[in-house]
Structure 1
């Protein structure tokens, strides 16, 4: 992979993209399509995306805790009985798309319509649907024009309709849920197989889809193993970045936009370190205030997940690749939880992994909100990460209901036939069930929201992703989501990146 080193960098570029993760890799590749535009992509991690744990999607969880993981950790969560949670995020080219479970779902149309209803013109589902289609090539299923068939992100389904998958769909049907051909794009209420960014058994990350085909362009420079310490401001105009790479201090200017794509933790951290954030908090830390934006670091939220049921299986099986989207109440407009069936026996220590299956459920429309803050001006100081799990009692109530629905689903005749021997179920008492959920829920690895897009006083970027109160600076990653999408966030994050690149190209050529 032709990367650059610090000693060959020039003093200025047309665009500087900070963060070579899912969003940043796409943006840099798209901007470099203009041969007259010189683009610098800066990534804190390395470029070792060919290691076995990143090539084989079945090994995704082995990337956690390695050098390819930022290894973030939350503060104690009082509503989860004081537990802290590891938030694993990719620190490598391609970001989390290089280390995660490779799931691809669009989100529910209501997610994006809510963004638009809050004043973010152009972010409704009708406007974004063509971008989703443009990004993907679905290598399975029918080509009816509803999904994409010419995009760079290649998608397959790993489900072979093994007996456990068929039983899961039948059980869902027995419980009154629809069985669908496609629940991934867009998310629909019901069950079905879902899409993965996997081709021929190998991960197909954003690096492979966008960056590798572009990296030999002479106008694109990709610098890895580099830390950006702060943004350079001339008044309120963002003029460039300061950082370090290869033991060399860097100060690089940008003619046009500087783009923060450092993720839900990295983007607000750089804003705050550079004087953009809550003025009182910045002054307390001794930082000069460039723009008073109290929403920086606020609105942090995440999907949470709990293993609801496990059983010894009647026969060994392989990857299942199926899920259900459903509502815990008839009074809500869209599915608020997801049920995933997996071919291993989570929580069943006395059952061989290959002889079990589990039902997990995730709360995909949480109401609770938390925050992220600096604890020090030191670059390597840990962040205060508080997702505020169950800060809103409705979230705990909804997840408890979702767990009960999993138990009912597991008792449906079709899944009963798949059991053999030992079973683990949550307690039936309402009080004990709440404690079970508090003690067993964890992250679904989809944090968003810390640089929220909007037009109110708490928003950080406007609908063109420009940071309020300053110029020449945009944020484009999952941190700009004002409200989390219903499902895994990779595809919506790439839609944000694709739209950012289009907006920037239009602004530069104007």
Structure 2
């Protein structure tokens, strides 16, 4: 730990692990990676179906909560974020999505030059080791395994057929083919049935390099600024406060909550708020902590007609056998995810791309192990939660105090506008339509949540306000762009101060239409090339297909 590093990366999450691995491919570049949490070699992390237990373990997560949400009956929402090597990629649901091509073209239209779909597609391909070995639209030799879900116990075929019978689109390839419809779920799980976090895929293979230092249980307190330039960071480790200098740059990769919090703790952010917290203003940058965007999730649940769901696999003796099968062979029901399919749909046919995702599972995620005569079985049910892919609501991340160990004040402001309510209502009605259509219709005994009698707009809105949650996809709080609310430029350099970049989900101008872990990894891949002064040639897929 002695001496100066070229780069100090704060946060060993989905982006930080990628950056550390890519930058140290140059043996002449010295990198220090600081992580507030610990290691990621826990049994529940490696086994895919351990995700729900891992997400709830305090030693693995930042236990964040929103402030009372004014448009959700003043409820506070739980926002667990990974606090370990790999960050949230070590505890998430492992669903792999790139997002719609139009999402990135809109980024470019907003002034983010170099971030159109043609610009980012090479980096998605660079990072992927896809199961679609014969498909030119995917990468095949990248660090990140992308495998298809095992649908044996998930009633996948029935759901896909119901979507088709309801007159809605189905696609074999949500990324390389039609970017709309119900499809097979792809996962960041390796060929041995183990979770493929960015720690496993990127950082762990690089940790033997002499030019990479990784320090865990190191909480960064602030960045250091001298003469208009960020020169290093102050961090706490083993009860001592220490400093380290960065010869080239400090890179923040703490995510959409931690990165803006650290900037504000360092005196970088909205001047009035910093003054309110008693923090000397180093650089007035109003956009820090603003523009928070998240995919809202509205619960929808149907009762199954008989014992046909994944609850069967949670019977204690079967679960023990499934764990053994996973451990020995990397296969079986615990070696994959629970998602039946991933319908990406338009709530209005006039829209240019899907605005609704249905989180379809043949079991409640809260279901538990059971055994006849000892522990009662969970109810057999289907969930089809409605996810808004392009919400208009925007929230904020602000300090609660000037102490680095105090978690920030997070306000999502979900459903603060009529447009998002209209979209959610339409999505709920789409879910009802699909699950009433054969062959799913024959498997359904009735609607548990919100209930078949909840039909009017006011009644559905009341359900939304009483039950809506999140998908754990926060972005946007250090937004990339050129306008007055932007925090970083298209090369991810902080506006107004030299020597600092932000590379994580916080730089997204708005949330992509899909799960955000894949796009965050892509951002880090592209950022590593930007930092090294190079780029991959753009790929215009539409022009290539036309040719």
Q: Does structure 2 conserve the Cα–Cα contact (< 8 Å) formed by 1:452 and 1:459?
A: yes
4+ runs deviating over 6 angstroms: 346-349
Partner of 1:363: 388
Q: Distance in 2 between matches of 1:186 and 1:14?
A: 42
> Residue 236 and residue 484 in structure 1: after superposition, are their counterparts in 2 closer, same or farther (change >3 A)?
same
1:267 is the counterpart of 2:286: no
Residues 317 and 457 (structure 1), Cα distance of their counterparts in 2 relative to 1, 3 Å cut: same
Please tell me whether the aligned partners of residues 396 and 412 of structure 2 are also in contact (alpha carbons under 8 angstroms): yes
Provide the aligned C-alpha RMSD in A.
Answer: 2.0
Could you tell me which residue of structure 2 aligns to residue 6 of structure 1? none
Q: 1:346 to 1:103 in 2, by over 3 A?
A: closer
For 1:219 and 1:10, locate their aligned partners in 2 and report how far apart those are by CA, in whole Å.
Answer: 12
Structure 1 residue 221 displacement after superposition: 0.1
Structure 1 residue 185, shift from structure 2 partner: 5.6
Structure 1 residue 438 displacement after superposition = 1.3
1:322 matched to 2:341:
yes
Seen in structure 2, the aligned counterparts of structure 1 residues 375 and 462 have a Cα distance that, compared at 3 Å, is same
> What's the counterpart of residue 128 of structure 1?
120
- 5+ residue gaps, structure 1, are 1-8
State the Cα distance separating 1:335 from its structure 2 match.
Answer: 0.6
Secondary structure in 1 matching 2:299:
strand
- Greater shift in the superposed pair: 329-338 or 230-239: 329-338
Residue in 2 that maps onto 1:463:
490
- Give CA deviations for 1:211-238 in whole Å, capped at 9, x if unaligned: 0110000000000000111111112100
Q: What residue is the counterpart of 2:475 in the other structure?
A: 448
The reply to whether residue 428 of structure 1 matches residue 450 of structure 2 is no
Match in the other structure for 1:238: 230
Deviation readout 1:277-299 (Å, 9 max, x if unpaired): 11222223222222211000000
Q: Does the aligned pair in 1 maintain the 2:299–2:449 contact within 8 Å?
A: no
Q: Is the 8 A contact 2:133 2:140 kept in 1?
A: no
User: Which deviates more, 303-312 or 481-490?
Assistant: 303-312
What is residue 544 of structure 2 aligned with on the other side?
Answer: none
Give the TM-score of the pair, scaled to structure 1: 0.93
State the aligned residue count.
Answer: 496
The superposition leaves residues 131-179 of structure 1 with CA deviations (integer Å, 9 ceiling, x where unpaired) of 101100112x452201111110001112335572111111110122222
Of residues 103, 112, 123, the one that matches 2:95 is 103
Partner of 1:399: 424
User: Which of 46, 63, 66 is the equivalent residue of 1:71?
Assistant: 63
Query: CA 1:314–1:119 in 2, change beyond 3 Å: closer, same or farther?
Result: same
Contact 1:159–1:320 (Cα < 8 Å) also in 2:
no
Partner of 2:21: 29
Separation in 2, partners of 1:343, 1:455: 45
1:390 equivalent to 2:415? Answer: yes
CA contact (8 A) 1:279 1:294 kept: yes
So what's the TM-score if we normalise by structure 2?
0.87
User: Separation in 1 of the partners of 2:177 and 2:7?
Assistant: 33
Q: Report the more deviating stretch, 57-66 or 468-477.
A: 57-66
Question: How far apart, in 2, do the equivalents of 1:346 and 1:42 lie?
Answer: 33
Residue 447 of structure 1: how far off its partner (Å): 0.6
The aligned residue for residue 4 of structure 1 is none
Deviation of the 1:315 alpha carbon: 4.4
Q: Where does the alignment leave 5 or more consecutive residues of structure 2 unmatched?
A: 311-337, 369-375, 535-547
Q: Rate the CA distance shift 1:185–1:436 in 2: closer, same or farther, 3 A.
A: farther
Contact 1:32 1:220 in 2 (8 A): yes
| 2:220 match | 228
Structure 2 Cα separation of the partners of residues 345 and 27 of structure 1: 36
The corresponding residue for 1:198 is 189
Equivalents in 2 of 1:187, 1:234: separation in Å?
Answer: 51
The Cα of 1:87 is off from its aligned counterpart by 0.4
Residues of 1 paired with 2:152 and 2:119: CA distance? Answer: 34
